[in-house]
Structure 1
């Protein structure tokens, strides 16, 4: 008989890989993600405002981008980590996966009912990309002025980051098979129109073709996979520098 998916081991990779199960905490900003995607903008707006205040973001799009990047990283990490370690993924049904917009990993995601799917690339894509990232992008673009290429660039960056973190953990713990599976799955996942155009993945190295806009924050710099080699000079107020896809 197959052992149940060990979420504790998956979470040991790092906070972004952790997933809580059972009844979610009660809070004003806790909601099933299906409700958030369907138009309950309260939690999304709260998260964007919280990120904007923390970063001192001069443009709402920066906070939208950073907030979406963080949630994408959580979702990819949970699914990819489970698949690489145990060959199956939790079914992150948006109706059952609750998000605390005021929380941070590992206490921001709660799955109320545990079921699993096979740990192949098709299942991961269905669970994360189709089940969450596409409707999340639609919800954000309905509410905020932000481009689809930027959001998908964030999704690609988050996927590459999850694979890289798994590979680092695997090398450190002597589980190189886990790292190999993670990188192979990531390569398959990038072979999709929404992700293929976001950047170039070579092993653990990723160079994206868009910018998450973080450099525009006070004290902000470039991320390691940014399309820019140095922060662009600020242009006319209200315009976006080339490549920013904002």
Structure 2
């Protein structure tokens, strides 16, 4: 990471792993610390007023979500996947994790990956600190922000976090095998094992199948089915 301060190597893993660095070039954006702290009963305000709810509503319109908790879950799952991908990808490639302090990260809730996140200062940390970098600094306050404003369960959100983490592990492992970089996949899997042992994530996935034990509610979308790691064998209420 010290030799790649722009984190350019992450692009090899795929666009979802890319993290922009420096200040956003077009307009000032709120930090993630500000986004997590925002509370506003009028959730139709513009992106700067309440970025978390703005993102949920953007997702709701895009997928035609039938109820707020479905949109909240899908928005959360995507954002958790971005955070785990960036952090785990960096840890696997560099054996270091960038300090993703929410005060250093700017977020454009109206943009898509990789242009929605900007890390204004790149500071490397030991890879073993990935849990506090993602789980403690982001997933905990993000869940609190969502649950303070929308009817979504903590169990569902931690299931999303686990599913997103496993998805990042699988993508890194595929890349490592295809590119003869076994050590990259080994680091990702080793770090993930430690992360899944934390009380917030322990038990969220089946230990044998890696299927989750909660549902992200994707099946409730118009035309939605089951995700590959869904806890259900068929959509509830259908035959």
Displacement of 1:6: 6.0
Distance in 2 (alpha carbons) for counterparts of 1:200 and 1:125:
20
Match of 2:206, SS?
A: strand
Does the C-alpha gap of structure 1 residues 20 and 224 become closer, same or farther in structure 2, counting only changes over 3 Å? same
Question: Is residue 198 from structure 1 mapped to residue 204 from structure 2 by the alignment?
Answer: yes
TM-score (structure 1 length as normaliser): 0.88
Contact 1:19 1:111 in 2 (8 A): yes
In the alignment, the residues of structure 1 paired with residue 127 and residue 10 of structure 2 have an alpha-carbon distance, to the nearest angstrom, of 13
**Superposed CA offset, 1:199-228 (max 9, x none):** 1245xx521000000100001111111100
Give the corresponding residue for 1:55: 63
Equivalence for 2:232? 228
**How many Å separate the matches in 2 of 1:145 and 1:25?**
36
2:213 is aligned, of 205, 209, 214, to 209
1:36 is matched with which residue?
A: 35
Match of 1:84 among 92, 99, 103: 92
Distance in 2 (alpha carbons) for counterparts of 1:181 and 1:116: 16
For residues 6 and 46 of structure 1, the distance between their equivalents in structure 2, rounded to whole angstroms, comes to 29
1:69 aligned to 2:77?
yes
The alignment partner of 2:30 has SS state of strand
* Root mean square deviation of aligned Cα: 1.6
Contact persistence 2:169–2:189 (CA under 8 A): yes
Superposition deviation, residue 40 in structure 1: 4.9
Count of aligned positions? 228
Please give the alpha-carbon distance, in whole angstroms, between the structure 2 residues aligned to 1:201 and 1:86: 28
Q: How does 1:139-150 map to 2 (within 5 A)?
A: 139-150=145-156
Q: Deviations over 1:161-204 (max 9, x none)?
A: 000000011111111211111111111110011000211245xx
Q: Distance in 1 between matches of 2:27 and 2:150?
A: 25
Answer yes or no: is the 8 Å Cα contact 2:39–2:149 preserved in 1. no
> Does residue 190 of structure 2 align to residue 184 of structure 1?
yes
Determine helix, strand or coil for the equivalent of 1:208.
Answer: coil
Once the two structures are TM-superposed, the CA of residue 45 in structure 1 deviates from its matched residue by 1.6
Following superposition, which runs of at least 4 residues in structure 1 exceed 4 angstroms of deviation? 25-28
**Contact residue 153 and residue 195 of structure 1 kept, 8 A:** yes
Give the match for residue 138 of structure 1. Answer: 144
CA distance in structure 2 between the partners assigned to 1:201 and 1:38 by the alignment: 35
CA distance in 1, matches of 2:79, 2:137: 13
